[in-house]
Amino acid sequence: MSDNLKYTKEHEWVAVEGNVAAIGITGYAQEALGDLVYVELPEIGKKVGKGDNFAVVESVKTAAEVYTPVSGEVVAVNTAMAEDLELIKKPANQNGWIAKIKIENPSDLEGLMDEKKYKEFTDGLS
Amino acid sequence: MSAERKIETVTTGQNEIIEFNRGLLYEESLLWEKEHADHPGVDLPAPENLKSRTGVPDRENIGLPQVSEPQVLRHFVKMSTWNYSIDHGFFPLGSCTMKHNPRLNEKLARLPGFAQIHPLQPESTVQGALKLMHELQHWLAELTGLPGVCLAPAAGAHGELAGIMTIKRAHEMKGNKGRNVMLIPDSAHGTNPATAAMCGYTVKSISTKETGRLTVAAFKEALGDGKDVAGMMVTNPNTCGLFETEIQEIAKLLHKAGGYFYCDGANFNALVGKVRPADFGVDVMHINLHKTFSTPHGGGGPGSGPICTTAELAPYVPVPTVVKNGETYSLQWEKDRPETLGQLKGFQGQFGMHVRALSYMMSHGADGLKQVAEDAVLGANYIMASLKNDFHAPFDGPCMHECLLTDKNQKDAGVTTLDIAKALCEKGFHPMTVYFPLVVSGAMLIEPTETESKDSIDRFIAAMKEFAADVREGDSEKYHAFPESTPRRRLDEVKAARTPVLRWPSDI
């Protein structure tokens, strides 16, 4: 796990490297969704605003939107994931990210939770 | 099919046999796999010197199965028995209002004066049909309190589209600029945000997670100053089966900010005859004739989704609408109503459904429709009261016409909502709606409707109680294998979705 891993209340994780944020969905989200059957990736170059939906993950149960906690431009998408959906279970450095976004405002990261806080948050949801 | 198949019967003290469903009876091969499927079913002489003028290959070479008329008939009749329907048994699919379709409706829809007319006939020759549509418009206006009625939309989602396009048209015609946001609660039917997006609106979600209901506070937060808000889409009662208790106040705030209130009529069966949606602030609403007014759906017939609006929005609804001048009925088109958003559907809509719906309304009468809502709500509350000690109820009752439970009490023992749905198939019931609404985890949404008898509901409750008791006693392993009596047992749904096989056999 990267030291820079941050979490959102919508159950995305963000791995920051320099000015780029790699975004994936947490184990809690994966558990709630069940096995995925489809992931819809954004287009490279797309501008997204903080809180925007930038990808869709679909399971047998439901389809869910994935939100970006940072504003910026999509600079990479994980095309391998579209072929192998099991990748979503992997950590950021093992291709578990959905897309990478070039961070426009580093202050967007300020409100995000660290691992300990996120665990407290999910424990409280049950 | 094995001869040893167990058909379960339950006997009482008097040795009376109680009806019971289990599994399905027939196994059936594909037409191509039938014995002698290469033999023609009819013996006609081949036409001489026939040349294809369309470029289509010879009939013999395109792989059509050759089967006889009785083979074809039996094939499709057998397969039709796999299609579980409300005519077979209990169908508690939440949010779908799978009620009995009275046969009186069918009889009236088949009258030659209704069934054998053509939409291109001169209006003077179809006055009776137009009068029927006018009467239906009147009933819908009375029941909703909304006088602008257009019967044309062909289904619920189509009615939604027509409703939101009406709001968009109203803003355009009034010169309102910059209103591009549609407010929608997070418990909404998926078609709501889809409709808003189709109309070019940005969807802003209102959170209902805390109590399952909209609150004035959450609404205000989503509304902001309201200058960019075109409207709000709300289902009432909502998809958690709860009446929106703060809706009047919310509607007032929305109107003050210049937005219109669209009500999704999918759950009108809980209110029909009891509450006029106009009284809680609705500007436009679609009505599922195929839910509330019993016209067949779910594979049984086309839907029909008329919209009803306030007098203010009435000029903008789609054409055609039916008007009465003196003793003559006629359809109004663009030339008669220049402010309309236009035509959305061929001709006048699903006329056969208009006949069935009006037949339902008139045979029930105003008092009968009231009882529909009362009995639908009673049935759902009976289920909730009977099962709330066995299954977790995320929101306290009383509920409206459907009751929401979850798998929270069973999940730790490894039995999920999906397993319970599959166990219901094994027991011969159609499962409830599962994993919807999305705002609760492991949702089971149960809508019995007013046409289900207490005996039938009791059998369903007994099955559900049996599942809960099994899990409590540690007998949960079998729930991963159900259904076992059906021709196809538990399917690998993930594999089916990831790598679907769309041709069989794949070499044809």
Which 3-state string (H, E, C) describes B68-103? Answer: CHHHHHHHHHHHHCCCCCCCCCCCCECCCCCCCCCH
- In chain B, CATH 3.40.640.10 covers 123-363
Encoding tokens for residue B500? 């679907």
Q: Say yes or no for a CB contact (<8 Å) between B441 and A62.
A: no
Encoding tokens for residue B191? 């078609």
Which of A64-68, B44-48, B434-438 is predicted with the least confidence, judged by mean pLDDT? B44-48
- Taking CB atoms and an 8 Å cutoff, what residues of chain A touch B436? 62
Q: Say yes or no for a CB contact (<8 Å) between A60 and B441.
A: no
Q: How far is B214 from chain A (nearest CA, A)?
A: 20
- Taking CB atoms and an 8 Å cutoff, what residues of chain B touch A32? 441
Alpha-carbon torsion B250, B254, B255, B259, what sign?
Answer: negative
State whether residue A31 sits within 8 Å of chain B by CB: no
Looking at the DSSP bridge assignments, the partners of residue B33 are none
Per-residue pLDDT, averaged over A103-120, amounts to: 92
- Taking CB atoms and an 8 Å cutoff, what residues of chain B touch A38? 497
pLDDT tens digit sequence for A28-80: 999 888 889 999 999 999 999 998 889 999 988 888 889 999 999 999 999 99
Neighbours of B220 (CB within 10 A): 14
What pLDDT, on a 0 to 100 scale, did the predictor assign at position B4? 41
State whether residue A86 sits within 8 Å of chain B by CB: no
Which 3 state secondary structure label does DSSP give B273? Answer: coil
Q: Residue B409: pLDDT above 80?
A: yes
pTM for this predicted structure? 0.86
Q: Packing angle between helix B351-387 and helix B127-144, nearest 10 degrees?
A: 30
Residues present in chain B in total: 508
For residue A53, give the chain B residue with the closest CA. B203
CA distance B372 to B142: 16
* Chains A & B: contacts with CB separation below 8 Å: 18
User: Predicted confidence band at B261 (pLDDT cuts at 50, 70, 90)?
Assistant: very high
What pLDDT, on a 0 to 100 scale, did the predictor assign at position B80? 84
Which 3 state secondary structure label does DSSP give B180? Answer: coil
Q: Packing angle between helix B454-472 and helix B351-387, nearest 10 degrees?
A: 50
Smallest Cβ–Cβ distance between B494 and the set A32, A37, A62 belongs to A37
Q: B366-498 has which CATH code? A: 3.90.1150.10
Which tops the pLDDT comparison, A53 or B377? B377
Helix H or strand E encompassing B128: helix B127-144
Residue B464: partners with Cβ closer than 8 Å, 6 or more residues away: B387, B390, B391, B420, B424
The domain locations on chain A are 5-123
Looking at domain A5-123, its CATH class is mainly beta
Q: Which of A126, A99, A101, A119 is nearest to A26 (CA)?
A: A119
pLDDT above 90 coverage of chain B, percent: 74
- Taking CB atoms and an 8 Å cutoff, what residues of chain A touch B438? 62, 64
Q: Say yes or no for a CB contact (<8 Å) between B493 and A62.
A: no
Q: Which of B231, B233, B207, B237 is nearest to B219 (CA)?
A: B207
Per-residue pLDDT, averaged over B335-363, amounts to: 96
CA triple A60-A64-A66, angle to 5 deg: 140
| Residue whose tokens read 């591009």 | B180
Q: How far is A103 from chain B (nearest CA, A)?
A: 24
DSSP B379-426: HHHHHHHHHTTTSB-SS-S--SSSEEEESHHHHTTT--HHHHHHHHHH
Smallest Cβ–Cβ distance between B438 and the set A35, A60, A62 belongs to A62
User: Predicted confidence band at B59 (pLDDT cuts at 50, 70, 90)?
Assistant: low
Q: How far is B103 from chain A (nearest CA, A)?
A: 36
ipTM: 0.73
| Residues B385, B398 contacting (CB under 8 angstroms) | no
Looking at domain B123-363, its CATH class is alpha beta
- The answer for B246, left when phi > 0, alpha when psi is -120 to 50, beta otherwise, is alpha
- Taking CB atoms and an 8 Å cutoff, what residues of chain B touch A34? 494
Encoding tokens for residue B27? 């196994």
- The answer for B197, left when phi > 0, alpha when psi is -120 to 50, beta otherwise, is alpha
- In chain B, CATH 3.90.1150.10 covers 366-498
Encoding tokens for residue B396? 């306290």
CA distance B127 to B135: 12
Cis peptide before B102 (omega within 30 of 0): no
Q: Which of B420, B445, B475 is nearest to B189 (CA)?
A: B445
Q: Say yes or no for a CB contact (<8 Å) between A38 and B497.
A: yes
- The answer for B492, left when phi > 0, alpha when psi is -120 to 50, beta otherwise, is beta
Residue in A10, A11, A35, A38 to test binding to B, most B beta-carbons within 10 Å: A35
Which tops the pLDDT comparison, B503 or B432? B432
Encoding tokens for residue B25? 């009876």
Neighbours of B420 (CB within 10 A): 25
Which of B28-32, B210-214, B322-326 is predicted with the least confidence, judged by mean pLDDT? B28-32
State whether residue A82 sits within 8 Å of chain B by CB: no
- The answer for B217, left when phi > 0, alpha when psi is -120 to 50, beta otherwise, is alpha
In angstroms, how far is the first alpha carbon of chain A from the final one? 24
- Taking CB atoms and an 8 Å cutoff, what residues of chain A touch B497? 37-38, 60
Residues 40-69 of A with CB under 8 A from B: 60-62, 64
- Taking CB atoms and an 8 Å cutoff, what residues of chain B touch A61? 418, 434-435
- Taking CB atoms and an 8 Å cutoff, what residues of chain A touch B418? 61
For residue A34, give the chain B residue with the closest CA. B494
Smallest Cβ–Cβ distance between B493 and the set A32, A60, A62 belongs to A60
Q: Which of B147, B93, B128, B125 is nearest to B358 (CA)?
A: B128
Burial string for B464-498 (b: 16+ CB within 10 Å, else e) reads: beebbebbeeeebeebeebbebbeeeeeeeeeeee
- Taking CB atoms and an 8 Å cutoff, what residues of chain A touch B498? 37, 85
Q: How far is A18 from chain B (nearest CA, A)?
A: 32
